């Protein structure tokens, strides 16, 4: 089912979302100052191409230790990102999610856009991981089958 959802997502616009995030990452990398945001853009681009079966989590929660992107500098970077680009990217993903949620078929795609909107607000210090790894993180409850 994950493969089918990813394939439908990709064909129905996921490729465009991913390419736009790659473009944003290239623009950020060209500025040199924007390299930390470029890394985040490329990470979100990968997630934008194939969002199903993956989730975005904080790197310090996933690796069990802080790094430069999860500490104070990461917070400052996220605030700058939010002011310059994050809010309008999130707004565009939310707008797409509302449009997709109007149909029953579009609800899974709307949810993916909501997750992308959240990721686009504060991407520094995050990483994309398989869903199986998220379920193994401390504090994550997995319902019994």
Q: What is the pLDDT of residues 78-128, one digit of tens each?
A: 898 888 888 888 888 898 889 889 988 888 888 988 999 998 898 888 888
This prediction has a pTM of 0.78
Contact 84, 28 (CB under 8 A): no
Cα 59 to Cα 64: distance, rounded to the nearest angstrom:
8
Q: What is the pLDDT of residues 36-45, one digit of tens each?
A: 788 888 989 9
Q: What 3-state DSSP class applies to 26?
A: helix
Q: Where are the domains of the chain?
A: 2-129
Unique residue bearing structure tokens 């990217």: 89
Contact 54, 128 (CB under 8 A): yes
Checking if the pLDDT of 46 tops 60, the result is yes
Cα 55 to Cα 34: distance, rounded to the nearest angstrom:
24
Cα 64 to Cα 140: distance, rounded to the nearest angstrom:
14
Q: Work out the average pLDDT over 54-69.
A: 84
């Amino acid at each position: 089912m994950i493969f089918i959802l990813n394939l439908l997502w990709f064909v129905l616009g996921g490729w465009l979302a991913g390419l736009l995030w790659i473009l944003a990452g290239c623009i950020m990398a060209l500025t040199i100052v924007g390299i930390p945001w470029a890394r985040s853009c490329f990470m979100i681009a990968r997630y934008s191409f194939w969002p199903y079966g993956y989730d975005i989590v904080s790197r310090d929660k996933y690796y069990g230790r802080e790094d430069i992107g999860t500490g104070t500098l990461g917070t400052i970077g996220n605030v700058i990102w939010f002011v310059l680009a994050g809010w309008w990217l999130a707004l565009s993903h939310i707008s797409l999610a509302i449009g997709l949620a109007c149909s029953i078929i579009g609800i899974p795609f709307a949810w993916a856009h909501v997750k992308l909107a959240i990721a686009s607000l504060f991407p520094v210090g995050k990483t994309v991981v398989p869903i199986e790894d998220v379920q193994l993180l401390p504090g994550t409850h997995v319902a019994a089958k």
